[in-house]
Amino acid sequence: MNDFLNKSILKLKNKNIPNPELDLKLLLQEASFSKKEIILSNLKIEDINLKYLDKLISKRLSRKPISKIIKKKYFWKSAFYVNSYVLDPRPETELIIEEVLYNIKDKNQKLKILDVGTGSACIAISLANEFKNSKITAIDISKNAIEVAKKNVKLHNLSNQITIKRLKLADLRQKFDIIISNPPYINQKEYNKLQPEIKKFEPRVALFGGKDGLRFYRLFAKEIEKKMKKKSIFICEIGHKQLSSCKKIFSNSNLILKKISKDINKIDRTLTFFKI
């Protein structure tokens, strides 16, 4: 088995796949006949569906991300179904959940929450699990992403708490206590330089935020206030080096920037706003 493992790792290494050992372990897990967690040092060849494993390795050699191969990605406290129509949930986006928890101390409150650009619904579902009495509306423009979001809501048994709608922000007529969004914010230059794992296998509609990457912040500065009550909060994720542009955009709105939070890499990552 060792020989087989080494050969597979070498194949991945030769294609410059980062973390080949970890990737192989995840693919072996997917191709394992048993549901038990595999231990490499203890692995028996008869426990693995080798034909299937070979297919999985070929997909990884084409730079398809592991998450898109095994159709699963972890976020906050749960696993989510993902495919090529949704962005893979990112660890830095968990900061949005932390910021909501920081602002809302009483988890039993009956909150009305809006998630703009829900994708896999990872934020909506994580918030629904944290705030069990809340009702969440999650919107997205992508028909295919909406299907993934609905599937995840069903898988997590949260249909009574979360409503998924294919809608543009401007067409929404309700008001909410909390509004959150991780919008597309990659600009044209960054988009052109994205690594193949992202550019080839993640949807452009989830990444591209217009020529300067700021299209959605301009939309938020105009629209979000209309969906907020007096004491509502709005939390959004921003991209690397977008803080000063975002400050400028929102300075012309009826929103007051209350908090800027950094992610674990010390990058300004979320903005929290109140209404004037």
Ligand X SMILES: C[S@@+](CC[C@H](N)C(=O)[O-])C[C@H]1O[C@@H](n2cnc3c(N)ncnc32)[C@H](O)[C@@H]1O
Contact residues toward ligand X (CB under 6 A) are: 86-87, 89, 93, 116-120, 122-123, 139-142, 145, 168-169, 182-184, 205-206
Compare residues 17 and 114 and give the one whose CB is closer to ligand X. Answer: 114
Q: What is the closest distance, in whole angstroms, from the C-beta atom of residue 136 to ligand X in the complex?
A: 12
Q: What is the closest distance, in whole angstroms, from the C-beta atom of residue 36 to ligand X in the complex?
A: 30
The closest alpha carbon to 169, from 153, 180, 154, belongs to: 180
The C-alpha atoms of residue 117 and residue 89 are separated, in whole angstroms, by 12
Long-range contacts of 20-29 (CB under 8 A, 24+ apart): 23/60, 23/66, 24/57, 26/66, 26/70, 27/53, 27/56, 27/57, 27/60, 27/66, 27/69, 27/70, 28/53, 29/70
Is the distance from CB of 140 to CB of 166 less than 8 angstroms? yes
Compare residues 145 and 246 and give the one whose CB is closer to ligand X. Answer: 145
Q: What is the closest distance, in whole angstroms, from the C-beta atom of residue 186 to ligand X in the complex?
A: 9
The closest alpha carbon to 238, from 227, 250, 226, 229, belongs to: 250
The closest alpha carbon to 129, from 160, 103, 102, belongs to: 160
Q: What is the closest distance, in whole angstroms, from the C-beta atom of residue 117 to ligand X in the complex?
A: 3
Q: What backbone phi and psi angles, to 5 degrees, belong to 219? A: -65, -45
Compare residues 28 and 228 and give the one whose CB is closer to ligand X. Answer: 228
Compare residues 67 and 253 and give the one whose CB is closer to ligand X. Answer: 67
Compare residues 57 and 162 and give the one whose CB is closer to ligand X. Answer: 162
Other Cβ atoms less than 10 A from the Cβ of 15: the count is 12
Q: What is the closest distance, in whole angstroms, from the C-beta atom of residue 167 to ligand X in the complex?
A: 7
Q: What is the closest distance, in whole angstroms, from the C-beta atom of residue 102 to ligand X in the complex?
A: 18
Q: What is the closest distance, in whole angstroms, from the C-beta atom of residue 158 to ligand X in the complex?
A: 15
The C-alpha atoms of residue 107 and residue 13 are separated, in whole angstroms, by 46
Compare residues 126 and 232 and give the one whose CB is closer to ligand X. Answer: 126
Compare residues 87 and 127 and give the one whose CB is closer to ligand X. Answer: 87
The two most distant CA atoms of the chain are separated, in Å, by 65
